[in-house]
Each structure stands twice: as structure tokens, then as C-alpha cells.
Chain A
């Protein structure tokens, strides 16, 4: 019995104008994801069929759950589209299933087929009843819908329906830069942004020696976990120490965080320009900390005209944690290494900063040169340590 994974495009096909591009990107992403397996991918207008080696089934299904743009999929039995072989395949496969009530839904894209879909469903239903004990038809609320899809060459029979990750294929939306701190929220924000098809690169603000190399390692681990859902994901490291120290030295303690976040946004804007990204993405969640009140957001966001996407803005912490656990970033995020936001937290950061006061504070120092240097010294992290010879 040959099996295929049958993928329906779902939401993708509602966007008529872009459909080809969407499907092409999805195909490329699937091919890329399954490149270590012996698979054959067939496509038609509304579906994709992945032929695979039975032994790899579990591993391939796991990979399918890492690909955005797949909404529903089925594991289907394939046979050729003659009535006899369809019947035969039905008899063989129905015995492997476990259900009490069912109905048959037949689709016939090959309209030259000598019987209508309704007639066929009746015939197939009869066959199922004859070949399995203790089952009955229930058209309103069946435990299993047996799908028989008759196409020109092949017919697909399936008893199941699984949910994929949903979303849009990775990369169809152009690029955004994610502010990745190492906490719980920002990886989730990155995941959700990717879900809508945004290609992301991550930016990490580093304040060595106030933060440790372990904190960097933690961010790298998070990047690797997010990479599962995309083809590639660069990490930019911003050497933030000097700027942060200047702020800390010169600005009123309660405005330190506000000014620091404004500096980060300025750097983000510059990096977006440099690396051709259209939006800033971060893990801010309304009201979670002092810098994430609406007043703070207003004052901080004021330094840039770029859209700032905050995918978790309206989620509760527990909702964010749920996603973090699902995407396996949670356990890394809670490792106790300080990041640059926690190192310099004053006792009483201002909850409702004003723009006027902020500008006054910022004028105390000429940040421009340090800011430009920081941007210029930002670098792409390359995984230079390769243990091939040792391990």
C-alpha cells in the first residue's frame, strides 16, 4: 500500500494573485526541509503530494510540523483511478482503521469518470460496511470521514486530517529585524512574525563585561531553535556597552531605561536600513514592565518611523509561556544569565515618562558619535567554533 502526505494549501489559495508565488515558496521550503529524505513531491492547483519511504514516516511528519504554510494535511493511500482498484484499496485499508461510525465523501476531479460523486459514495459506503464489522453510517456526526478523491491518474483515500503549523510560507513577506534579548517573550515574537511569512534576522544587544558570554550563548541557542522554522536566520550582535555606560553615568536613574530603549530603537532603524529590512519586531507586551506601558511605548517609539511589530503585545504572560514551551525556547529563556536590560535596571524606572522630559535627559550627553560607532561595530555572528576535528 503506497502512502503519500497530502497537503492542502488552505489560506494560501484565497490570495489569488499571489498564489503561484506562495505555492512555489512553500514547495521550496518543503524540499529544503526534507532534503535528507528520499521523497518525491507532486503538485497540482490545490494540493501537494509527498511520496516517501514508509520507514521515514515519523521523521517526515515531525518535519512537516516545522513548516509554515501547511494548514491541513492527510496521510492518504494511493491507487490508480479505476473503479476496481479503488474498491480493492478501500477493502484493504479500511481494515486497518479503528472507528464505529463513518461516512464516505467522494470527490471526482476527473469528470469523465462514469459515475457521479454521490453514486460513488454510496457504492464505497456499501463496500466499507461489508468489509468491517460493527460499524454504521452516520452522515451528520461521523467519527471518521472516508475521503475518496478521484483524480485523473491516481485516487487518494484517507481517513484522517491533521493540523499543520498554519501561517504563510517562510519568507514571502520580506524581512524584519527581531530584537532578541534572551528572555521568554522575544523568541515567541520572532516565531509569530515568521508565521506570517516574515523573513527575520535577530539583533542582540550585548553589554560585555556586564553580561556574560553565556548570555550570548543562550541567545545563539534561541536563534538555533527559531531556525527550525526558516531557511536561515542571521544573528547581529550590537556592542552596547559603551552606550549603556554613558546613559547610566549621565541620565537620571528613572529615565535610564527609557533612553536606553530609545537608543536601541535608533540602532534598530539604522540596521533595518543597512540590511534592507522593513520592520522592527520585538517581544514587548503591554504593561509587562515599566518600558512597556503605553506611555513608555509612545515615548520610545517616537524615535523611528518604521513599523514596530509586537506580536505578543496583547498576550498574557501565561499565553506567551505556552507558545514558548511549544516551540521549545522556554527552558533556554529561563536560564539565569543577565541580559543588558536587566543589568542596569534602576530601582524605580519611570512608568509614565513624558516626551519633553525624555528629550531634556537625552540632551545631557552628545550620544551621536557613540551611537554611530555602535552601529558601525555591529557584527554578524558566525559560528566559528567547529568541533569536527575534536568530536
Chain B
């Protein structure tokens, strides 16, 4: 099997799964119970949370565990709007966000959502950002790494500009960046990431919320890991998140180089093919490579590749029901490219020989079409 759909989800790391099983079996107490078992569970949760905080260079009480990045994004956006009722309801974002941001924003009443201009390399235009910050937005919500094309935003520079020019809260979706590229949260107020994108389990994610930011919970209830999300803390998942992040971070330098090498190889080979256009710019995240194959239906392509036991995506898995890629269309204004795009995404288990095999198969398929 050649698995090239790591931006949708990664295979779970065996060590992480082991943690999940061990904790599920050995730490049966509810972290809120007063007895010894509860206490032991709570102690483990504290240690797991502290490890995550240390790895992100933030404080322990700034980590909120949630079920998914989508939940984290919802909590960030809706939580802030509710916690600051007197601020202007203006939110800056881009056209390239994941549906968990875009659809959340679209669902809000009485909120003005403004898209920031992008420059030639699809990055946020800094002059436009400065200009729009004058509108005194409550929130700027953007991705760190775009899920479809792998565009990397410089969150340090953007964050600095936001802090220097406005009171806006800076919310970053790091689902495609954490555990893969360098993440610096110096200027970021809210940051989300999900374990299953870096070798963890599905069902556990975080929202980093800096101490000074207020937030109203989406889910109310009894005491939990934090006051921002009620519900019995999913200790085994929390521990597994902590482990997955540690392992991903430890392996990150090696993984990055390896993925970069595969990405370079794929770019070179795909460039040689007449009917292929690479949509991901060269400065994109090496973990994501988006390209279009002229006059092929991506669904057909996915299923053809599947018959060779090779797995890719059309666009982000979360929006795969529409028949064209909105991002690519908005960026290129080219319906053809947007209707024929494929997303190939890499992680640590992928190898050059898989890439070679893939190119060979791709040539076979396109030649026979």
C-alpha cells in the first residue's frame, strides 16, 4: 500500500496506540473523583498537559483539550465573540481556510466576515492586512498551513503586525503545521491542532488559548480539564495526544528532510509530464503537493490509483463532495485546473521508492486514458 493522504489523516503510531491502551486499562478513575484512582488519573492528566505545554512553549493552563480541530476552531471563534460582546463583530480571514473556519464564520449572525487580499504567492498581503486592521476587527482567523495547497503563512510576522496595529485576537489553525514544521506561538492568541495529523488518534485535539484571552465555552457542564469545555476528560486520548506530539516533534527534523526529498522528486517528475500542472507553489509545505491532470476527473483518478493500492485525495477530505476545488478556482480563476486537482500528502513513513512507484503507475494510467 502506498498511503499519500496524510493531510486527511495519518496512520496511528504504534507507541501512541500503546499509550492509549495502557492508560485506558490502568487509569480507570475519573480525573474529578476524590479517591486515589481519580487522583492518579488527574496526576497523569496534569503531566500529559504539561508535556504538551512545554513542547509548544506555552503555559499548562493555556492548553484546552477538545475532540477535533473543527471543535477547536468553533470554540475559538464563537467563544471569543461571546466573551467580548462589546467589540465590533468584524472578522478577518482568507478565502483559503478549511471549512471548519469558513463554515463556522458563515453560520454566524450579525458578523461581518472580510477576506484578506492575497499576493502572487497566495500569501496574505501585508499592506491589505494593515489597512483592514483599521476597521478594529475582533478576530483574525487564518491557517498556518493551508490544507489543500500547503501554503505556509508567516504567523510570526502577521501576528506581530496584528499586535502592533490593533486589538484583534489572532487565531491560527495549525492542523497542518504542528508536528510537521516549526510552530512559534509568540504572537498567536488561539491555536488549534489535532493529533491524528501527526501520528496520533482521531478524536483528540487542542485549542491553545493564551492566558490573557477570554473565552466562553461551547459545552457547559461540570468541572473538567479546563473550564472552557465540560465533559469527563478523555484521559487515554489526552495522554496519547501528548505522546504523539512528543514523538512527532522528536522526529520532526528527520521527517521534514525526508518529506522534502520526496516532494522534490515528485515535483521534478510531475513537471516532466505534459498534462500535469503543479498547483502548490515551491515555498509550500513539503507535506502537501497539489497538482491537476488535464481532462481527467479526479474521482476517476482516485479510484484508478486505488486499484494499485495507492491512496490520494481530491481536495481536503472535509469538502470532497463538491465537484471542483474552490481554493484553486479562486486563486487561478481556471475552472479546468480546479476541476482536475489531486492532493498528495506525505508523512514520516513515506519513502522515495513509493514516490517512484507512484510516478510509474501515474504514467501508465494517463497513457492508457
One of B36, B42, B243 near A391 (C-beta < 8 A)? B243
- Is B111 among interface residues, defined by CB-CB distance under 8 A? no
Query: Among residues 295 to 337 in chain B, which have CB atoms less than 8 Å away from a CB atom of chain A?
Result: none
- The smallest C-beta distance from B32 to any residue of chain A, in angstroms, reads 11
When C-beta atoms are compared, the residue in chain A nearest to B52 turns out to be: A391
Q: Is B22 touching A390 in the complex (CB atoms < 8 A)?
A: yes
- Is B239 among interface residues, defined by CB-CB distance under 8 A? yes
Q: In the complex, A389 Cα to B243 Cα: how many Å? A: 9
- Chain B residues lying within 8 Å of A389, measured Cβ to Cβ, are 22
- Chain B residues lying within 8 Å of A212, measured Cβ to Cβ, are 34, 39
- The smallest C-beta distance from A207 to any residue of chain B, in angstroms, reads 16
- Chain B residues lying within 8 Å of A214, measured Cβ to Cβ, are 39, 42
Contact with B along A357-391 (1 / 0, CB 8 A): 00000000000000000000000000001010111
- Is B44 among interface residues, defined by CB-CB distance under 8 A? yes
Q: In the complex, A390 Cα to B242 Cα: how many Å? A: 9
Q: Is A391 touching B239 in the complex (CB atoms < 8 A)?
A: yes
- The smallest C-beta distance from B227 to any residue of chain A, in angstroms, reads 15
Q: Is A387 touching B47 in the complex (CB atoms < 8 A)?
A: yes
Q: Is B34 touching A391 in the complex (CB atoms < 8 A)?
A: no
- Is B43 among interface residues, defined by CB-CB distance under 8 A? yes
One of B36, B43, B239 near A385 (C-beta < 8 A)? B43
Q: In the complex, A391 Cα to B246 Cα: how many Å? A: 8
Contact with B along A11-29 (1 / 0, CB 8 A): 0000000000000000000
- The smallest C-beta distance from A129 to any residue of chain B, in angstroms, reads 34
- Is A322 among interface residues, defined by CB-CB distance under 8 A? no
* 4 A-B pairs with least C-beta separation: A213-B39, A387-B47, A391-B242, A391-B51
When C-beta atoms are compared, the residue in chain B nearest to A213 turns out to be: B39
- Is B19 among interface residues, defined by CB-CB distance under 8 A? yes
- The smallest C-beta distance from A143 to any residue of chain B, in angstroms, reads 26
- Chain A residues lying within 8 Å of B22, measured Cβ to Cβ, are 389-390
Interface residue count for B (Cβ, 8 Å)? 16
- Chain A residues lying within 8 Å of B230, measured Cβ to Cβ, are none
- Is B23 among interface residues, defined by CB-CB distance under 8 A? yes
- Is B48 among interface residues, defined by CB-CB distance under 8 A? yes
Q: How large is the interface on A (under 10, 10 to 19, 20 to 34, 35 or more residues)?
A: under 10
Q: Is A387 touching B39 in the complex (CB atoms < 8 A)?
A: no
Q: In the complex, A136 Cα to B239 Cα: how many Å? A: 61
Q: Is A390 touching B43 in the complex (CB atoms < 8 A)?
A: no
Query: Among residues 229 to 249 in chain B, which have CB atoms less than 8 Å away from a CB atom of chain A?
Result: 239, 242-243, 246
Query: Among residues 30 to 64 in chain B, which have CB atoms less than 8 Å away from a CB atom of chain A?
Result: 34, 36, 39, 42-44, 47-48, 51
Main secondary structure of the interface of B (DSSP, over half): helix
- Chain B residues lying within 8 Å of A385, measured Cβ to Cβ, are 43
- Is A88 among interface residues, defined by CB-CB distance under 8 A? no
- The smallest C-beta distance from A230 to any residue of chain B, in angstroms, reads 21
Query: Can you spell out 9 A-B residue pairs with CB atoms less than 8 angstroms apart?
Result: A213-B39, A214-B39, A217-B39, A217-B43, A387-B44, A390-B19, A390-B22, A390-B44, A391-B242
Q: In the complex, A214 Cα to B40 Cα: how many Å? A: 10
When C-beta atoms are compared, the residue in chain A nearest to B27 turns out to be: A390
- Chain B residues lying within 8 Å of A391, measured Cβ to Cβ, are 19, 47-48, 51, 239, 242-243, 246
- The smallest C-beta distance from B363 to any residue of chain A, in angstroms, reads 45
When C-beta atoms are compared, the residue in chain A nearest to B35 turns out to be: A213
Q: In the complex, A277 Cα to B357 Cα: how many Å? A: 72
- Among A212, A217, A387: residue with most chain B CB under 10 A: A387
When C-beta atoms are compared, the residue in chain A nearest to B36 turns out to be: A213
Q: In the complex, A217 Cα to B242 Cα: how many Å? A: 21
- Chain B residues lying within 8 Å of A217, measured Cβ to Cβ, are 39, 43
Q: In the complex, A212 Cα to B33 Cα: how many Å? A: 12
- Among A214, A385, A390: residue with most chain B CB under 10 A: A390
Starting from the known contacts A217-B39, A387-B48, 13 additional A-B residue pairs (CB-CB under 8 Å) come to A212-B34, A213-B36, A213-B39, A214-B42, A387-B44, A390-B22, A390-B23, A390-B44, A390-B239, A391-B47, A391-B48, A391-B242, A391-B243
Q: In the complex, A151 Cα to B23 Cα: how many Å? A: 61
- Chain B residues lying within 8 Å of A213, measured Cβ to Cβ, are 36, 39
Q: In the complex, A212 Cα to B36 Cα: how many Å? A: 9
Query: Among residues 115 to 151 in chain B, which have CB atoms less than 8 Å away from a CB atom of chain A?
Result: none
- The smallest C-beta distance from B13 to any residue of chain A, in angstroms, reads 13
- The smallest C-beta distance from B317 to any residue of chain A, in angstroms, reads 29
When C-beta atoms are compared, the residue in chain B nearest to A216 turns out to be: B39
Q: In the complex, A217 Cα to B239 Cα: how many Å? A: 19
Q: Is A390 touching B39 in the complex (CB atoms < 8 A)?
A: no
When C-beta atoms are compared, the residue in chain A nearest to B246 turns out to be: A391
- Chain A residues lying within 8 Å of B23, measured Cβ to Cβ, are 390
When C-beta atoms are compared, the residue in chain B nearest to A217 turns out to be: B43
Contact with A along B7-35 (1 / 0, CB 8 A): 00000000000010011000000000010
- Chain A residues lying within 8 Å of B36, measured Cβ to Cβ, are 213
- The smallest C-beta distance from A365 to any residue of chain B, in angstroms, reads 31
- The smallest C-beta distance from B114 to any residue of chain A, in angstroms, reads 36
- Chain A residues lying within 8 Å of B34, measured Cβ to Cβ, are 212
Q: In the complex, A355 Cα to B44 Cα: how many Å? A: 48
Q: In the complex, A46 Cα to B311 Cα: how many Å? A: 68
Contact with B along A59-90 (1 / 0, CB 8 A): 00000000000000000000000000000000
When C-beta atoms are compared, the residue in chain A nearest to B61 turns out to be: A331
Q: In the complex, A214 Cα to B41 Cα: how many Å? A: 12
Q: In the complex, A391 Cα to B23 Cα: how many Å? A: 10
When C-beta atoms are compared, the residue in chain A nearest to B23 turns out to be: A390
Q: In the complex, A389 Cα to B39 Cα: how many Å? A: 19
- Chain A residues lying within 8 Å of B51, measured Cβ to Cβ, are 391
- Among A212, A213, A217, A385: residue with most chain B CB under 10 A: A213
Query: Among residues 176 to 230 in chain A, which have CB atoms less than 8 Å away from a CB atom of chain B?
Result: 212-214, 217
When C-beta atoms are compared, the residue in chain A nearest to B47 turns out to be: A387
- The smallest C-beta distance from A59 to any residue of chain B, in angstroms, reads 11
- Chain B residues lying within 8 Å of A390, measured Cβ to Cβ, are 19, 22-23, 44, 239, 243
Q: In the complex, A387 Cα to B243 Cα: how many Å? A: 10
- The smallest C-beta distance from A79 to any residue of chain B, in angstroms, reads 33
- The smallest C-beta distance from B232 to any residue of chain A, in angstroms, reads 18
When C-beta atoms are compared, the residue in chain A nearest to B42 turns out to be: A214
- Chain A residues lying within 8 Å of B246, measured Cβ to Cβ, are 391
Q: In the complex, A81 Cα to B47 Cα: how many Å? A: 51
- The smallest C-beta distance from A337 to any residue of chain B, in angstroms, reads 11
Q: In the complex, A213 Cα to B39 Cα: how many Å? A: 7
When C-beta atoms are compared, the residue in chain B nearest to A386 turns out to be: B47
